[in-house]
């Protein structure tokens, strides 16, 4: 893998023992920032994420999910239950800066690669561990899966309107936020190690990430025990009218925090009877109904022309095709293309998003695609183990 000295984690070696999403994406974030990531996989089958497909999409024998989560990595095939393979892995551990793992609690320790064991091999190691529900307590045996963690955290009750069933977020937010927290903790420990020479152990879990995401709600409940989720006519249980999404003749319009009478004046709708901000709560359903009836008569662009001019907090609700075709998306330059040599010998090109960060004013993009299982084993042996 080529060196990228302009990236902040260039020169750091990461061993990625993780599978499927939270762990691999955390390692991917470090790779985006310049770290060299070697994925430790089971011979033959590899990461289970190679077969679990997002939207049923796959290419060259691996799922699209695997391609995009494991871009810019190398693969070293090792059976951790085989003593010879395990000895090679421990030799790599001795030279690594970071380990990432997301086995179920207790599994990695039984393999002799828990933090306490690894620290004896490499005292400077920074060890990152992702789990579903932590390592203690009554939930630890539950499967660490995104929908399940969202549900355990209560998050689905915050989505939708009064009378609707709980609605989970339609993306793997628990996994994605956990990957970010884990990468954040790892980089913080690397910084501490540069100052003190001491490594460390960082843990992140799906459930803690979902609780952190709800820090306002949970803090409100702790501050006032009477706080409860009461979904109303809007799109947010804790924000008053006019906050919400409104159907137009061409799609939907989002309106955020805005004084109701001012909004009515701009739209040509008499809402003067709602001068008292308290009525924006008590009369939320009536206000939303009046706005909905009016906004449904014209296009989204029609209403945006009025509201944008007045600097009202509003936006179109873009569909996926509209987003991809929008000038704003193109200006952000959020895409990149990774390439790997396919099993047939042809180049396999995978379009995906880039890192959402810029470093020194520049976007971060990489061309190296996800590896085949064990693709780099012999090269890594020659470099580190001979």
Closest CA to 152 of 165, 143, 164, 162: 143
Catalytic residue among 164, 184, 236, 372, which?
236
Please give the Cα distance from 189 to 202 (Å, whole number). 8
Q: How many residues does the chain have?
A: 386
Both tokens of 243, joined, read 């906050």
Q: Is 236 a catalytic residue?
A: yes
Which residues are CB-neighbours of 345 under 8 A, at least 6 positions away?
none
To the nearest 10°, report the CA torsion of 78, 80, 81, 85. Answer: 50
Beta bridge partner(s), residue 13: 36
CB atoms < 10 A from the CB of 267, how many? 18
Sheet (strand 244-247) strand order: 244-247, 252-255, 314-316
Distance of CA 217 to the CA centre of its chain: 21
Say if residues 349 and 337 touch (Cβ distance below 8 Å): yes
Which residues are CB-neighbours of 174 under 8 A, at least 6 positions away?
22, 146, 149, 150, 153, 206, 207, 209, 210
Q: Which residues are catalytic?
A: 236
């Amino acid at each position: 893998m080529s060196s990228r000295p302009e990236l902040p984690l260039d020169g750091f070696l990461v061993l990625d023992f993780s599978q499927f999403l939270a762990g691999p994406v955390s390692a991917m974030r470090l790779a985006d920032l310049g770290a060299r990531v070697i994925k430790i996989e089971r011979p033959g089958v590899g990461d289970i994420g190679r077969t679990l497909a997002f939207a049923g999409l796959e290419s060259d024998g691996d799922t699209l999910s695997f391609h995009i989560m494991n871009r810019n990595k190398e693969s070293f095939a090792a059976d951790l239950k085989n003593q010879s393979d395990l000895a090679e892995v421990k030799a790599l551990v001795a030279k690594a800066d970071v380990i990432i793992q997301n086995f179920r609690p207790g599994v990695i320790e039984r393999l002799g690669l828990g933090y306490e064991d690894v620290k004896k091999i490499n005292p400077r190691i920074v060890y990152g561990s992702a789990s579903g529900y932590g390592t203690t307590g009554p939930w630890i045996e539950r499967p660490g899966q995104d929908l399940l963690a969202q549900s355990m955290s209560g998050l689905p009750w915050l989505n939708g309107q009064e009378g609707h069933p709980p609605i989970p977020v339609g993306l793997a937010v628990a996994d994605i936020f956990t990957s970010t927290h884990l990468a954040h903790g790892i980089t913080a420990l690397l910084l501490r190690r540069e100052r003190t020479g001491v490594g460390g152990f960082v843990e992140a879990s799906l459930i803690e990430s979902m609780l952190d995401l709800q820090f306002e709600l949970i803090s409100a409940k702790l501050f006032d025990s009477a706080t409860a989720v009461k979904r109303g006519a809007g799109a947010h249980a804790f924000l008053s009218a006019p906050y919400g999404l409104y159907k137009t003749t061409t799609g939907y319009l989002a309106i955020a925090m805005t004084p109701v009478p001012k909004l009515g004046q701009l739209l040509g709708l008499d809402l003067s009877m709602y001068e008292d901000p308290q009525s924006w709560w008590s009369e939320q359903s009536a206000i939303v109904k009046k706005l909905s009836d009016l906004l449904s008569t014209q296009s989204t662009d029609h209403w945006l022309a009025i509201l944008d001019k007045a600097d009202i907090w509003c936006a179109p609700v873009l569909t996926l095709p509209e987003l991809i075709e929008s000038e704003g998306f193109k200006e952000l330059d959020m895409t990149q293309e990774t390439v790997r040599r396919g099993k047939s010998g042809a180049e396999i090109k995978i379009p995906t998003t880039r890192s959402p960060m810029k470093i020194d004013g520049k976007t971060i993009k990489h061309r190296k695609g996800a590896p085949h299982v064990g693709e780099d084993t012999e090269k890594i042996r020659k470099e580190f183990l001979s």
